[in-house]
Structure 1
Amino acid sequence: MKIQTRKNLNIQALNRQLRAHFAKIKDPGKVKSLPLVDIIMSGLAVFQLKIPSLLLLDDMRSEPLAHKNLKRLFDIKQVPSDTQLRDVLDRVPTDEFRNSFNLVFHSLQKDKALEQFKFFDGHKDQYLVSCDATGIFGSTNIKCDYCLAKLQKSKMMTEKKLHYHHQLLAASMVHPKQKTVIPLCPEPIIQQDGQAKNDCEINAAKRLYYHLRAAHPKLPMILLQDGLYSTGANVLELKKHNLSFIIVAKQDRCKNLFFGFDKRKEGLKDTVEFTNTSIIGDKTKKTRTRTYSYVNALPMTGKGDVAVNFIKFKEAIEWIIDSGRKKGTNKKKKSNMLGSLILKLAKIILKK
């Protein structure tokens, strides 16, 4: 299904909404000659137009055609220099931009553009939100008050130097059948005021959950997370904010889960297993066998205070080599993917 263009969801209409919102942000008073809203919209233009550097935006100030397009698309009356853009935006608190993400999201919601992102989990429609951290800046020389710091080996591997960096915990609405994603407001992973220790992805996730629920109190969401999040504390935090989840679980990190699963399977207690076989490959035909095993209400810890629904997924691919010295040889490749779910598991979600 393709995303259809709607009149009030085109880029100019959305930019008008964003500009009206940015105009309400309090000016830090760094540059008196330029309106803050022009500086913020210039920053937005860098991302929307994929301008490779701020210096190139600076050059566009003296190009009549480029300047005209910036005014037409973003209503920018005065384009800032790259130095002005950095200095001013660095001083605008991150929280001032949260509502701009919500503004675009609610416009999509109002125009029913979110309908194609609905994911039926076997019981009701929900929305998949993928979460992961990414690095956005790193240097051994340049730093600011919000930089995280860690010791890192130099390129010559002779000494360790302090490496200053910024990270970001991103959250985006996704769907298996959609190439487009909808970014939600990310959570900065930066040095927090009054804290001696570095901020981290898990702490940023707690703030993300709070802000997600504050912005979308009734939106049914399933958060997709990697193995870093497969802890009882994180599951409790997700439940606290009424967020469903699918989290990758690795055996070395979740020993109680795997031990409990094996015990339940040995005792034939409420474990369900089924297999799906299909033929794949264009030139060389391969047999792919996928085995799904799952159980509900499995304790995550030895205390038994946190229970999750657990699925174990195995995949085996077999084929016969049809050329070369090893012609006729049977090959087999195995891989495992393991996850824990809060959902009431049903075959329909596994097939999806």
Structure 2
Amino acid sequence: MQKEHGENNASSLFGVHQIPSTQQIGNLLDPVSADHLAPVFFELIEALHRHGALASHRGVDARLLIALDGTQYHCSESIHCEHCSTRTLSNGKTQNYHVAVTPVIVAPGQAQVFTLPPAFVRPQDGQAKQDCELNAATRWLLQWGARIAPWRTTMLGDDLYCHQPFCEQVLALGCAFLFVCLPPSHTLLYEWVADFERIGAVPTLVNTCWTGKQRLTETYRWLNDLPLRDGDDALKVGWCELTTTDAAGNVLYRNAWASSVPVTRENVVELVADGRSRWKIENENNNTLKTKGYNFEHNYSHGKQHLSSLLASLMLLAFLTHSVLDLLDQRYRAIRRNLPSRRTFFEHLRALTLYMPFTSWDHLFDFMLEALQPARPPPKRRSPGQRRQI
């Protein structure tokens, strides 16, 4: 394009004035830590705050809900680096893989999620054991907790995070928590629940709802001041449970949570809805990244230092940018209404920027909008003898 037109989109759209080869791109990026991108994540989230776009993403006590979960973004038996985690398969072969903890702002009833800077599971200096998801999440809290604390947040997560040291760290930052709490890993807490059950002292709320196909019964139960673990220093938490049954009494869903917020009859339904929204990190975030055109699990280049994690962070940043644009940019939103599939949208961008030079993103979006708007029908012509209606 530079030879044919004297200009190119790498320069005008991305500010790349000397175009390197693919190999050189990897060489340049490999030494760069993914942490260098973190300020851009926070700048975009704070832009949403300024525009009031996150008001709909607040739960109990008007707290912003941030879900934590780990997701794999690289796996290979041959490609590896010194930062890979490893596992031995039943056939004796070794898999090398990378996992990222992807904190995401979620909310019940809201399809849009907003990703925050990730944390990466990777071997730590001086540690003999492999790193794990919980350790990576702990490092994330230490690094960015002070940044998110003023937002008044509640941290969501599965049973892995319902661990007293992690819960205490969340509370030390001034944040609340609402983590899945399962019987096998919290035996003492559930012994207390059983004791209250025996004397009929577990508060219960029963609601019915119609799904359009069947009538369901939702049974909420809750208790407060239960020990999260054994010992005199055990953290006291609120506990709530939801059991959903159909008309025949079959259990369709059951889950329970430990909460730093006291559970009451007035807030139990909303607390459970907040806890269940944790699944949006898998459905709306990780699944979108892996199946809707971002190719999150594709090995663009592995590198020897930070390249794999940096490229994963860039994909997360792209997803966040698109989510912000969808809320705050009228032209972007109009284009996506005409191209609702992300894959199709990306294909249009690739084709246009491959064949045509654009001076800016405004120029590109205006061009796309003009081409995508439905053609207006021509005005009807009146016959010569037809009287004009006043």
Q: TM-score normalized by structure 1?
A: 0.70
Find the counterpart in structure 2 of residue 171 from structure 1.
103
**2:209 alignment partner, one of 235, 256, 278:** 278
Give the aligned residue type for 2:81: C
1:63, CA displacement in angstroms? 9.7
Identical-residue share of aligned pairs (%): 23
Match of 1:231 in 2: 163
**Native 8 Å contact 2:67 2:104 kept in 1:** yes
Post-superposition shift, 1:268? 4.6
Q: Shift in Å at residue 64 of structure 1?
A: 6.9
Aligned counterpart in structure 2 of residue 131 of structure 1, from 68, 71, 75: 68
After TM superposition, the structure 1 = structure 2 runs for residues 13-32 of structure 1, keeping only pairs within 5 Å, are none
Instruction: Mark the CA change 1:141 to 1:233 in structure 2 (over 3 Å): closer, same or farther.
Output: same
Residues 174-196 of structure 1, C-alpha deviation per residue, up to 9 Å, x if partnerless?
11132111111110111223333
Q: Which residue of 2 aligns with 1:336?
A: 254
Matches within 5 A, 1:66-215: 68-119=8-59, 121=60, 124-153=61-90, 159-215=91-147
Comparing both chains, which one has the higher relative contact order based on Cα–Cα distances under 8 Å and sequence gaps of 6 or more? 2
Shift of 1:69: 4.0
Distance 1:278 1:246 in 2: 24
CA distance in 2 between partners of 1:106 and 1:278 (Å): 37
Contact map agreement 1:318 1:333 (CA 8 A) in 2: no
TM-fit CA distance, 1:310: 0.3
Distance 1:294 1:251 in 2: 15
Change (3 A) 1:179 1:72: farther
Deviation at 1:334, TM superposition (A): 4.0
C-alpha deviations, 1:90-112, integer Å up to 9, x for none? 21022222222122222222233
Report the Cα offset of residue 344 of structure 1. 1.9
| Conserved 8 A contact 2:222-2:264 | no
Distance 1:102 1:76 in 2: 24
For the pair 1:351 / 2:282, whether they are aligned, the reply is no
Question: Could you give the per-residue CA deviations for residues 260-300 of structure 1, whole angstroms, max 9, x where no partner exists?
Answer: 1121233355x321100123333xxx221111010111112
> Which residues of structure 1 form unaligned runs of 5+?
1-60, 154-158, 320-330
TM-score by length of 2: 0.63
Distance 2:22 2:206 in 1: 58
- Offset at 1:311? 0.5
Distance 1:64 1:315, change over 3 A: farther
Runs of 4+ in 1 over 4 A off after TM superposition: 61-65
Q: SS at the partner of 2:71? A: strand
- Secondary structure of the residue that 1:92 maps to in structure 2? coil
1:291 is the counterpart of 2:219: yes
Quickly say closer, same or farther: Cα 1:204–1:63, change in 2 above 3 A.
farther
Contact 2:149–2:174 under 8 Å retained in 1: no
5+ residue gaps, structure 2: 271-390
Greater helix fraction, Structure 1 or Structure 2: 2
Q: Select the structure that is richer in strand.
A: 1
More off after superposition, 229-238 vs 70-79: 70-79
Amino acid at match of 1:297: D
Q: 1:313 aligns with which of 242, 247, 253?
A: 242
TM-aligned CA deviation for residue 249 of structure 1: 1.4
Give the conservation status (yes or no) of the 8 Å contact 1:210–1:241.
Answer: no
